[in-house]
Structure formats: C-alpha cells, structure tokens
Amino acid sequence: MAQFRYRALDTAGEAINGQLEAPGQEEAVNQLQERGLLVLQVVPTQGEAARGWRAWFNRDPLSGAGLAQFTQQLATLLSAGQPLDRALSILLSQPSEDKSRRLIERIRERVKGGRPLSAALSEEGGQFSQLYISMVRAGEAGGSLEDTLAQLALYLERSQALRGEVINALIYPAFLVVGVLGSLALLMAYVVPQFVPIFADLGVPVPLMTQSVLWLGQFLSNYGLLILIGLIASLWLLGARLRDPERRMRWDRRLLSVRLMGPLIQRLETARLARTLGTLLGNGVPLLSALSIGRQVCANRALQGAVSEAADQVKDGGSLAAALGSSRLLPHLSLQMIQVGEESGQLDAMLIKVADIFDAEARRGIDRLLAALVPSLTIVMAVLVAFIMLAIMLPLMSLTSNI
C-alpha cells in the first residue's frame, strides 16, 4: 500500500485536503469518488516530497507560456471537429521538448483508456492548477469543452502578459539596485581603507566626516563577510517564521497597509481574484466552488482568509459583494461593481470588467512607481558617492592649503 495526498471538493463545494492509503493512484481516485468527492489532485506523498527540492533544478514540462499555447492549440483543434485523442496526437507530433511530449503522451493514453480530460490532467500533480482542471471539468459537463479551453487560453495569456510586464519593468531597477549596492560595498570595503595609513602618515587633522567614513570602511573591510552571512541568516529566519500561517497572515495584512506598495498589491490581487471568479462563473462553475478556487489563486494570505470568510457568508445566503466587503481588504469600486453584477444577473461579466479595470490600474501604478524609483536610486547613488569622495578629499585639501 502506498500513501497518497489528495485535494478534492465535497458536495458543498468546500476544498478538502488529506492523505489516504491505496494500492495505486487509480485506486486512490476511486476511493475518493466513492465518498462523493470531486477529485482535483492525487499525488504520492514520496513524489510530493521529492518535488520540493527537485523544483529548484527541474522545470515543469509546460511553462506558463507553453501551457497557454497548448491550451489554445487544443481548443483550435477541437473547434475544427477533431476528436480529443486525435487532437492530442496532432499536438504530440509537433516539435517540442521531451518533457512536454511525454506529458502530452501520458494525457493521450489516459484519454484513450476512457478517462475524461479533467481526470487525465489531475493525475499530473502540480502541472495543471485547480483552476485549470475545474474549468475543463465544467466544460466537459456542459458539452462545450472547446469554448472553455479557448476562454482558459485567453485567461492564461492575459495572466502571462501581466506577469511578463511586471518582470520586464523590474529588470532595470533590479540591476540598478545591485549595481548601486555593489559599487558602494566595493568603495567602502576596499577603496576607503587604503586611505587610513595615508592620512596617518601625513599627520594632517582629519574631519569628523572623514573619520566616520574611514571607520565605516574599516568596519566593512573587517566584518563584511560576517555581515553578509548575518543578512542571509536573517532572511532565512524570516522566511522560516513566515511559514507559520498566523504570522504569514499578519505579515500579508501589514503589506496591504504599506504606502505605495499596499494599494498596488491590492489592485493586482483584486484583478487576479475577479478574473478567476468571472472566468469560472462564465463556464458554469458554482459560486462556492469558484470562491474555493479563487481563494487559492490569491497570493496574499489575508485576502485568502477574506475569501474563505466570504464563502461561508455566501453559503448562509449572503450576497458576494457584502461578504467580500466585510473584510475591508478589497477596493470599494470593485465591491460596487460586483453588487451591480449581482443585481443585474451578470456577475461573471462584471467580474471580468473589474479585472480589466484593476489590471489597467495596476499597470499604471507600476509605471509610476518605476518612473520614480529609477531617478531616486540614481540620486541616492550620486549623493552617497559625493559624500564619500568629499570625506576623502577634505584632509588632502587641508594638506594642500597648509603647504
């Protein structure tokens, strides 16, 4: 008997995580289905543990862009009237990496064996998200798998586009920060200490500013490695402490209240949550199940908790806008638009509009932040270098004037 870890939804749409013993993965799935659970993922616990450290060295068979391309191509082939197994065979014949080919081949073999596509995807562990599998399952139930895949491809493409824009925008500031810190560390740790014996031999009066810079340079030269080790250890300790759910919840809640960064994180998370809920509802997924999936899409733990509480209130008969508004973590405009969507019976379309609005606001916020960050870093670098050079030049200027 082997141990398996599973994720599933019960009849009320609540997410359930747990472990069970079974002779194999297929038997584990059957056991869960006999309990009336909707299986989302079943993975061996040993394989899951190995995945934790292997993830640092091994890439997933399909990257974010590769997954969007796979979804779009599969939707196109199904729309052209191709059977599912035939469409997967066509995708398999295209040039691709070995990992991608093996993944598609495993999915095709399961489909040929009579498994629905959603079940075939769920057996691939973390490669396909709960959102992806749930939408595919909803498309199968509604008989519109090709349309669902097309919408899913659009969702993935937009998510990848936003992520790519953020990464591209941060590349230059990241290199600038590394350059600034590296240059200052090199200047203080290796260049400034060279002037200590020179000023001692000259016997000129050393101003307080110069003494401070020389002392700091000597300190960094002697203890710089220990400081670096201490910083790394502090970051590791902070990461270990944030693994505690309660501490992570408090940390993420504080992040939302930080000036400049808090509103930006709020807009990004609101857009992601709204797009996920709108896409799921538009494809026939029940609201409670959509909220359960949307909670896992949120990266901020405080917002995850707010969505969980909202799901409980919706289950008791409350409206989505009022339930999400009780946490006071989402923008007021988004709550108003959600309320309008509920009253008009077009909640899914209104959620997509909310996502579009806050995607655009997040992009503008990122652009403004970076527009201020780059010149600010340049000015700080110039001021610090000028301060250090002035501190070094003052004793030399004093010596020159005495001569």
SS (H, E, C) 13-45: CCEEEEEEEECCHHHHHHHHHHCCCEEEEEEEH
Exposed / middle / buried, residue 16 (Cβ in 10 Å: 0-12, 13-18, 19+): middle
Digitized pLDDT (tens) for each residue of the chain, 403 residues in all: 566 777 776 666 666 777 777 767 777 777 777 777 777 777 776 544 444 444 444 556 667 778 888 888 888 888 888 888 888 888 877 766 777 788 888 888 888 888 888 888 887 766 787 778 877 887 787 777 888 888 888 888 887 877 777 777 778 778 877 887 787 778 777 777 777 777 777 666 777 887 888 888 778 778 878 888 998 999 898 888 888 878 888 888 888 888 878 888 888 889 888 888 888 888 778 888 888 878 877 888 888 888 888 888 888 888 888 888 888 888 899 999 999 999 888 888 999 899 889 888 888 888 888 788 778 878 888 888 888 888 878 777 766 665 5
**Does the pTM exceed 0.85?**
no
**Domains of the chain: residue spans and CATH:** 2-57 (3.10.20), 67-157 (1.20.81.30)
List beta partners, residue 2.
Answer: 22
Query: What is the model's pLDDT at position 11?
Result: 67
The residues, ordered by sequence, that sit 6+ positions from 259 with a Cβ below 8 Å of its Cβ are none
Closest CA to 360 of 268, 248, 224: 268
Q: How many CB atoms lie within 10 A of CB 94?
A: 11
**Strand, coil or helix: what is 206?**
coil
Contacts made by residues 261-268, CB under 8 angstroms, sequence distance 24+: 263/365, 264/362, 264/365, 264/366, 264/369, 265/300, 266/329, 266/330, 266/331, 267/331, 267/358, 267/361, 267/362, 267/365, 268/162, 268/358, 268/362
List beta partners, residue 3.
Answer: 21
